[in-house]
């Protein structure tokens, strides 16, 4: 049986490979057409690079002795005007002076090299932390709004509905502009705070609806059973409904947070240097447009797929205890 | 001393429909009762009103003399000390058997809570399953967990909303009897909602028959069967047919099967049409009898046959005969009536008459 099935399946796998190959060749042909010169070697430096810092003489004086110490050398010098000696450390292969040489103030003696984080890595980090911060705040907003949405109090319910409809009915880009230019100006907010605020409100509205649906998916009998066992409405919600609802809303919540990471690219319009904005900035200096955008896309894909694997694992763990 | 449970003149509405109308009943101190009725008769609504989940339109509910509900005011369910066993059990799927049972005991001291939980686990025979989750035990075991959970806080009254309906018939009556024993041992009152009369008979001392939101009769099982208050109760409880007759000058009812002595319904005078309830066990198969009836249908019940007989007038009659009296349909057999409790209703064509035997409860 399984053998039969496998033999029926493999032509389709073959077709899949052919289609993917065709797409790859098409892409290659297309770039040939526009005569694009690929410079992938320029990309890695934007993740991290070796920065050289020039070490200069602090005063006019004389080199007493150079002490070579492997890759580094200690250069010992005394000022002409008299006073205490100074020791400067430089990379041995960049040493520009010898024992007994006379140097003037600010003359370069050599350099030291350090690994520095490039703009792509910085942008990636900004994207991750902005997404997580807004996801967390959004979850809290969503939980509160979701509970208000099913409250018996008309004022709470009305506010929740208004908020959800306002947010879901307008584009995120417009919300970010309003939040930054209007609310941000009125309250004198930092651009990062404004960005996180806009994203939190956005994701909160969607989370509220997910949580409302989750709570309402728990059979009424569960609430009634808890009530008849002496629990108040609030205790019932905390001990019976929410733990069960959480398990059910985990998959849609995961989807919402993955979209949030992608949507966070829109905060680049208010000059927050996230992954997208870093990419745009790098392109202006490197002209490696295709390479950088592909890299940026790949980085987004990396975060979202790691997150979705993590949530998938969490979901299975919860399902096991059910 | 006030009655254990007192419902007075209740109206419950799901606008625009009145689900319960003018319902009053008093349950005695033994406190094991049952609400019996066809589906849609309002019995579950009534139970939910007692639990505090449905507001009243009119009337009041009292438990041990204390008012629990009146129009415009409902004591919250959690403050009533009334336990409830639900039709779908509503066990908490994310908690173990122990945690389910201990759920209502959060405010108890740890030692007392442990003692109570292990007492209940022993009572329902589930000590080995204490650490399992509800989905890891069988349906019958889940029923027991639901019972133990509902009994844990020592409620004054336990409401049971058809909790055994998912079980097969044999197990259903056994469990109903077992729950009854447990309730008596715990000193807790019980009120069961059911559409199965045998389950009701096994469980309750007093049974109320409901139809279309009205309580037709509140009585012992024996009285419901032998002295039904109206046609509906007569047809719903047990089997039987209504035999047409007419009150004669001598005060007896003249029927096709002879004169029957009994108390005619109030206001009946000679010449009025009446109907007499004839149960299958009231009709004795007797070859020597001059009364003959034709066998129309025959149902084998093991120890006995249930015959549907056709009288010359076309009226039908049910007869329970020992199973060694085997007669094929079409044969005429001798019968005689032996009615202990004669129940007569005035024949009223505006009310649907029970001409054909009611469907036996399965």
Does B246 lie in the same domain as B199? no
d(C-alpha B344, C-alpha B128), whole Å: 56
Q: What is the pLDDT of residue B39?
A: 85
* Domain A50-116 indexed as CATH 2.40.50.100: yes
Give pTM, 2 decimals. Answer: 0.74
* Nearest CB to B94; choose among A226, A232, A244: A244
A232 in contact with B, Cβ within 8 Å = yes
Contacts 24+ apart (CB under 8 A), A63-71: A63/A97, A63/A98, A63/A99, A63/A100, A63/A101, A63/A102, A63/A103, A64/A99, A65/A99, A66/A95, A66/A97, A66/A98, A66/A99, A68/A92
| Residues B76 and B178 occupy one common structural domain | yes
Task: Give the burial class of A239: count Cβ atoms within 10 A of its Cβ; 0-12 exposed, 13-18 middle, 19 or more buried.
Answer: middle
Q: What is the C-alpha R_g of chain B?
A: 24
List Cβ neighbours of B231 (8 Å cut-off, separation of 6 or more): B242, B275, B345, B351, B352, B353, B354
Out of 1.10.3760.10, 1.10.3720.10, 1.10.287.70, 3.10.129.10, which CATH number does the structure's domain A119-321 have? 1.10.3720.10
Residue B360 has pLDDT above 50, yes or no: no
Looking at the fold, whether B253 and B284 belong to one and the same domain comes out as yes
Average per-residue pLDDT in chain A? 89
Residue showing tokens 């028959």: B209
Q: Do A224 and B104 make contact, defined as CB atoms within 8 angstroms?
A: no
Residue B170 lies in a domain: yes
Task: Tell me B4's DSSP state.
Answer: S
The HSE-up count of residue A291 (CA atoms within 13 Å, CB side) is: 18
Residue-averaged pLDDT of chain B: 86
List, for residues A56-85, the tens digit of each pLDDT value.
888 888 888 888 888 888 888 888 887 888
Confidence of residue A321 (pLDDT cuts 50, 70, 90): low
Rounded to whole angstroms, the Cα distance separating B242 from B234 reads 9
ipTM of predicted assembly, 2 dp: 0.77
Supply the range of the domain harboring residue B313: 239-346
Q: Are residues B162 and B281 in the same domain?
A: no
The domain tally of chain B equals 2
What are the phi and psi torsion angles at B332 (to 5°)?
-95, 130
Judge whether B41 lies within some domain.
yes
Residue where a domain stops, chosen among B173, B204, B231: B231
pLDDT of residue B358: 43
The sheet that has B258-260: what strands, in order across it? B258-260, B253-255, B241-247, B273-278, B344-346
- A210-266 confidence digits (pLDDT tens): 999 999 999 999 999 999 999 999 999 999 999 999 888 988 999 999 999 999 999
Contact A103, A77 (CB under 8 A): yes
Is residue B351's pLDDT more than 70?
Answer: no
* DSSP structural state of residue B9: E
Distance CA B289, CA B334 (A): 5
- Is there a single domain that holds both residue B288 and residue B329? yes
pLDDT score, position A6:
60
Q: What proportions of chain A, in percent to the nearest 5, are helix, strand and coil?
A: 70, 15, 20
Q: What is the mean pLDDT of residues B341-358?
A: 59
pLDDT band for position B312 (cuts 50, 70, 90)? confident
Considering the domain architecture, whether residues B177 and B136 belong to the same structural domain is answered as: yes
Over 60: is that where the pLDDT of A165 sits?
yes
Report CB contact under 8 Å: B86, A224: yes
Say how far apart CA B331 and CA B329 lie, in whole Å. Answer: 6
Q: Are residues B128 and B17 in the same domain?
A: yes
pLDDT of residue B362: 40
Give the mutation candidate from B78, B84, B102 for the A interface (greatest A CB count, under 10 A).
B78
Is the confidence at residue A114, as pLDDT, over 80?
yes
DSSP string, B56-105: -SEEEEEETTEEEEETTEE--GGGTTEEEE-TT----TTS-HHHHHHGGG
- Contact at 8 Å (CB) between B10 and B61? yes
Confidence class of residue A4 from pLDDT cuts 50, 70 and 90?
low
Longest dimension (CA), chain A: 95
Residue B353's pLDDT is: 39
B135:A240 CB<8 A: no
B183 lies in the same domain as B328: no
Mean pLDDT of B65-89: 91
What's B140's domain CATH number?
Answer: 3.40.50.300
Domain end point (choices B174, B198, B231): B231
- Give the gap in angstroms from C-alpha A245 to the nearest C-alpha of chain B: 11
- Tell me, what's the pLDDT at B349? 46
């Amino acid at each position: 049986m399984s053998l039969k099935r496998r033999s029926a399946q493999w032509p389709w796998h073959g077709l899949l490979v052919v289609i993917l190959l065709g797409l790859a060749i098409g892409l290659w042909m297309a770039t040939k057409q526009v005569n694009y010169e690929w410079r992938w070697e320029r990309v890695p430096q934007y993740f991290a690079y070796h920065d050289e810092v020039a070490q200069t003489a602090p005063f006019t004086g004389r080199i007493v002795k150079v002490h070579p110490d492997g890759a580094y050398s200690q250069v010992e010098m005394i000022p002409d005007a008299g006073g205490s000696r100074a020791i400067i450390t430089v990379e041995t292969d960049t040493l520009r002076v010898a024992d007994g040489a006379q140097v003037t103030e600010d003359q370069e003696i050599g350099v030291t090299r350090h690994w520095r984080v490039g703009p792509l890595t910085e942008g990636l980090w900004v994207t991750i932390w902005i997404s997580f911060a807004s996801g967390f705040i959004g979850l809290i907003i969503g939980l509160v709004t979701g509970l208000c949405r099913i409250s018996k109090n008309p004022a709470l319910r009305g506010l929740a509905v208004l908020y959800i409809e306002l947010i879901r009915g307008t584009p995120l880009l417009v919300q970010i502009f309003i939040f930054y230019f209007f609310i941000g100006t009125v309250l004198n907010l930092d651009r990062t705070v404004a960005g996180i605020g806009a994203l939190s409100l956005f994701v909160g509205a969607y989370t509220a609806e997910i949580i409302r649906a989750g709570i309402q998916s728990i059979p009424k009998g569960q609430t009634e059973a808890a009530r008849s066992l002496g629990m108040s409405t609030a205790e019932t919600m905390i001990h019976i409904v929410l733990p069960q609802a959480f398990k059910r809303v985990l998959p849609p919540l995961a989807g919402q947070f993955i979209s949030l990471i992608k949507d966070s690219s829109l905060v680049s319009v208010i000059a927050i240097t996230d992954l997208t904005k870093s990419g745009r900035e790098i392109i202006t200096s490197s002209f490696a447009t295709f390479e950088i955008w592909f890299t940026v896309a790949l980085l987004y894909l990396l975060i979202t797929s790691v997150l979705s694997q993590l949530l998938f694992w969490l979901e299975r763990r919860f399902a096991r205890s059910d | 001393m006030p009655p254990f449970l007192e419902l007075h003149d209740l109206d419950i509405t799901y606008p625009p429909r009145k689900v319960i109308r003018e319902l009053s009943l008093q349950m005695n101190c033994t406190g094991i009762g049952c609400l019996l009725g066809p589906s849609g008769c309002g019995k579950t609504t009534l139970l939910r009103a007692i639990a505090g989940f449905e507001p009243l339109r009119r009337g009041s509910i009292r438990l041990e003399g204390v008012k629990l509900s009146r129009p415009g005011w409902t004591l919250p369910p959690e403050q009533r000390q009334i336990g409830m066993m639900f039709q779908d059990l509503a066990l908490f799927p994310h908690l173990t058997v122990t945690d389910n049972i201990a759920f209502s005991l959060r405010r108890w001291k740890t030692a007392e809570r442990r003692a109570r939980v292990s007492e209940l686990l022993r009572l329902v025979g589930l000590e080995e399953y204490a650490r399992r989750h509800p989905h890891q035990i069988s349906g019958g075991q889940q029923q027991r967990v639901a019972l133990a959970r509902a009994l844990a806080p020592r409620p004054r009254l336990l409401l049971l909303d058809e909790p055994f309906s998912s079980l097969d018939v044999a197990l259903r009556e056994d469990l109903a009897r077992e729950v009854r024993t447990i309730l008596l041992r715990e000193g807790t009152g019980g009120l069961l909602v059911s559409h199965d009369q045998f389950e009701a008979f096994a469980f309750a001392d007093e049974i109320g028959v409901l139809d279309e939101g009205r309580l037709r009769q509140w009585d012992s099982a024996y009285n419901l069967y032998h002295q039904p208050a109206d046609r509906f109760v007569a047809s719903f409880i047990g089997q039987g047919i209504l035999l047409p007759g007419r009150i004669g000058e001598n005060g007896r009812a003249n029927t096709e099967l002879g004169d029957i002595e009994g108390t005619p319904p109030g206001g009946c005078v000679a010449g009025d049409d009446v109907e007499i309830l004839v149960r299958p066990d009231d009709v004795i198969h007797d070859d020597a009898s001059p009364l003959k009836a034709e066998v129309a249908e025959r149902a084998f019940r093991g120890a006995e046959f249930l015959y549907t007989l056709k009288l010359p007038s076309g009226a039908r009659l049910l007869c329970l005969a020992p199973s060694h009296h085997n007669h094929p349909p079409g044969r005429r057999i001798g019968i005689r009536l032996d009615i202990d409790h004669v129940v007569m209703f005035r024949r009223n064509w505006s009310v649907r008459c029970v001409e054909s035997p009611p469907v036996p409860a399965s």
